[in-house]
A = this chain, B = another copy of it.
């Protein structure tokens, strides 16, 4: 009897695919692909983070990479029916290491495939069975204890021994890439300008909690315990990061700022001037990783008349405690996450708040998001045996090009579910949108990293008028006592808080290396969708993130906890391969 289970059909497809790969004939390989097909590769074939869209792009990639990648040993994993066909896991090996993948079949042919490098042969992480012993048994008069080895490492690294990687920025992104690199034995220093690890969270405004739930936020290796709150309060997050740095034994320099960096292409070394606890120090790492995240330079907007305004003007990054604004009139410029959070915080502190919303915002209720968008990152997922690493691969298996369709469908459902909420919010005058193409919050996050709010209470204050709103009217000028708008109206305020976001990470490159280099590299983040603030051409992945850039040995790492967790693995593998002198030919076509 013919076995028509999803597992059997997936296994049959995989066997044919493996045989075709063996032939090294891209034409034959593509026979098992749908017309409209996608191949997303994370380091396994391309030594890049790259999605090939359509048959010609896939054929071109295979023609260049297949012989040297030498994929083999395909083993089918779980498979299941989906709305569109079959989703199936598989593992494989390459000339460099082991890989995992997910293929989605429609009508028996591959609609999309994800291939990922999981480990480098000969350089596997010491985990589980291969974890360190922690002691050399037997007596040894030259024994160095763990404490002595850690102390020696701390004393040597950055002084008598240069790090291979220098990570600029010790927030969540910097910490995670450093943890991965340490596990792989790549000598790495993280520099952080604050006094303690975790301060980048602690220093934010008083009421901040993570807007994403705990199941989405785990760091690598050391998941949050089962009693961890769903939404982590900022100081608790700070303490966790600080403990993590210690537990993971990172070389982490606090109160250290990078001042200048220059690359010597001949030597293959950076020279980085830093100030560590007030003293200048020079490091010469082979690789420089920018992980300054959202904590790069704040984005200020120019306000006409600012010089004669009698009150105070702050950026949201400078705002931490609303208490001193109690009884004051405060304008918050902006309409996205931090504008809402700062407004709520001010309102709670007893300030009279006006939100000045300049452009539309995508709003979605936290509760709704939890219920409808975090199914693979939830307690139910954990109970069904889907751990966070597998959930991450599932999420990564949908190429960016295919996400708008699913996201639009999701937001269509959300807008029906919360129709009354959106009606009331719009009635308050708040400018709502769901993105230029109605695809909602996540696509905005990928495209621009801005313009959205997960509602945890701010919207009701706007609806009820507790937080006043001035929406869609340009600011004409500041007056000595307030703000005058283009429609001639005026409001009197004692303070203005610009919740206008942060500049792209590549601005940090401009400041540290040179404006020319920043220009050459181009902006970070965004997909090239051609939507507002995400200029074309289409790139198909997040620009410049987690992968080789236009400049040798210069990398960017960051994003929310989930993206930092997932991609830190692939960035670390790329760096480890270079550290070990492996051949890492990067496949770099525009698409």
Contact = CB atoms under 8 A, between A and B. Distances in A.
Interface of A: 125-129, 131-135, 137-141, 143, 145-147, 183, 206-207, 209, 214, 221-222, 225-233, 235-236, 239-240, 243, 246-248, 344, 347-348, 350, 366-367, 379, 382-383, 456-458, 460-461, 466
Query: What number of copies of this chain does the assembly contain?
Result: 2
B348 A140 contact: yes
Contacts of A246: 239, 243
Nearest to A151: B235
Given A233-B146, A235-B147, A243-B243, A458 B139 contact: yes
Contacts of A145: 206-207, 233, 235
A145 B232 CA distance: 11
Contact of A240 (B139, B236, B247): B247
A126 B230 CA distance: 11
Given A131-B230, A214-B131, A226-B221, A347 B146 contact: no
Given A128-B379, A247-B243, A379-B129, A134 B233 contact: yes
Given A131-B214, A139-B466, A457-B137, A183 B227 contact: yes
Contacts of A456: 135, 137-138
Nearest to A219: B225
Contacts of A247: 225, 239-240, 243
A126 B227 contact: yes
Given A147-B235, A235-B146, A229 B139 contact: no
Given A132-B230, A227-B127, A143 B207 contact: yes
Residue among A126, A147, A227, A228 with most chain B CB within 10 A: A227
Given A140-B348, A145-B207, A207-B145, A231 B183 contact: no
A147 B203 CA distance: 12
A248 B226 CA distance: 11
B133 A229 contact: yes
Nearest to A126: B227
Given A206-B145, A379-B129, A135 B214 contact: no
A90 to B, nearest CB: 21
30 contacts: A125-B227, A128-B226, A129-B379, A131-B214, A131-B226, A132-B227, A132-B229, A133-B229, A133-B231, A134-B209, A134-B229, A137-B367, A139-B347, A139-B461, A140-B348, A140-B457, A141-B347, A141-B350, A143-B207, A143-B348, A145-B233, A146-B209, A146-B236, A147-B233, A147-B236, A221-B226, A221-B227, A225-B247, A243-B243, A243-B246
B128 A231 contact: no
Nearest to A238: B147
Given A140-B348, A347-B141, A134 B227 contact: no
Nearest to A148: B206
A102 B562 CA distance: 40
